Amino acid sequence: MKKMALLLMGCGGVGRQLLRHIVSCRSLHANQGVHLRVVGVCDSKSLVVTPNAHASEMDDKFLLEVCRIKEDGSSLLKLSGFGSCRVFTNSELTAKVFDIASHLGKSTGLAVVDCSASLETTEILSCVIDLGCCIVLANKKPLTSTMEYYDKLVSQPRRIRHESTVGAGLPIIASLNRILSSGDPVHRLVGSLSGTLGYVMSEVEGGKPLSQVVKTAKSLGYTEPDPRDDLGGMDVARKALILARLLGRRITMDSIKVESLYPEEMGPTVMSVDEFLSKGLPLLDKSICDRVAKASISGNALRYVCVIEGTRCEVGIQELPRDSPLGRLRGSDNVLEVYTRCYNKQPLVIQGAGAGNDTTAAGVLADILDIQDLFP
């Protein structure tokens, strides 16, 4: 039985769901000859680890207790009296992670899994790569940091997986890597990579006011607590930057033109969430409605997309043919059109659920299993 040691950073929705997937898939993985051995879990303030990372692991009861505690909004410090695991506070956290990585990285192997939403994990990830560890990411921020950090993280391509940074469980990164490896140049990508904005744009196309659609999306749990986190387009911009860098573009976030769906005077420092929803958003209804009508006259649909072509990398509203894959998009699915030498007139289209903790965690788990051959 191949045993893979894992250290999880981030116990939010995706991290917790990943732990649940690991527990529920025990018999499946055993039949495949692999066992996932969780030796450490950390949140932003504390780290809980097994007493002996070489030989022991967190049992399933403990992993589910981690999920329960974090679901309640509590700290991992509450686990200090539960079982034999040790808890380290923030000041000791990084040093302990490096200690585990240095001991396991070049012996039994260790996969450091980043399911956080923090930029602060970037330094840790860049160091554990040097210690022989593998890294698996759902967190976009390390890969959208400086080019120096990006180059470091991808310097060992066999030891990094980050499929879930762009399309949750969709095979976007893997498909692009296969195309690029075959020598087929990618000359254009167009994608709707936000389930929230995909839903919003398809609903306003049906004649509903933007303000009503956003409120409905918020009530359905499609948006962040502050919908401006979605409407500002930065999440899509990070995904676009990851894809552009994958294609070899040496660019930073400042290179990307980003269209926000709300003006600066409606930003978080000016309006509260309630004010934005009740007073700000209705002022944007007419403008979006007019753009929808104008596009419709030309047989087009409005979609919030990223476009990567040559030196161009931008994120915002585009008019697209209504009969195209993006034009036909409904609901919260993600769609990416890939144009290459081989896929020229008819693009390769990748479509499916591109958001949600369950889908993203399943993508992370698949990435972990994809590197099992690197473990003894």
Question: What is the model's pLDDT at position 39?
Answer: 97
Which of 353, 348, 299 lies closest to 329, judged by CA? 353
CA angle 147, 150, 151 (to 5 degrees): 85
Cβ-contact 43, 70 below 8 angstroms: yes
Nearest to 333 by CA among 309, 322, 349, 314: 349
Q: What is the distance between the alpha carbons of residues 205 and 202, in angstroms, rounded to a whole number? A: 5
List residues bridging with 306 in a β-sheet: 191, 315
Which tokens is 300 given? 């087009």
Say what the pLDDT of residue 363 is.
96
Pairing of strands 312-321, 300-309: antiparallel
243: tokens are 């894809």
How would you class 100 by CB atoms within 10 Å of its CB: exposed for 0-12, middle for 13-18, buried for 19 or more? Answer: buried
Sheet with 257-258, edge to edge strand ranges: 257-258, 312-321, 300-309, 186-192, 333-340, 348-353
DSSP letter at 108 equals T
- Give me the pLDDT at residue 174, please: 96
**Which of the following is catalytic: 239, 257, 294, 345?**
239
Residues of the chain with pLDDT > 70, as a percent, come to 100
Per-residue pLDDT, 3 = 95
**Angle subtended by helix axes 121-130 and 90-104, to nearest 10:** 20
pLDDT at 221: 79
Q: Which residue has the tokens 């930057």?
A: 241
Phi/psi at 186 (5° precision):
-90, 120
| 239 in catalytic set | yes
The total of other beta-carbon atoms located within 10 Å of residue 89's CB is 13
The segments of the chain whose pLDDT lies below 70 read: none
* Pairing verdict, β 111-114 and 2-9: parallel
Are 350 and 190 within 8 A, CB to CB? no
Q: Any idea what DSSP says for residue 276? A: I
Which two structure tokens, joined as six digits, stand for 236? 């899509």
Quick one: pLDDT at residue 84? 81
Q: Name every residue whose Cβ is closer than 8 Å to that of residue 280 and which is 6 or more positions away in sequence.
A: 262, 266, 271
- The alpha carbons of the chain give a radius of gyration, in whole angstroms, of 22
Which token pair is 200? 């919003």
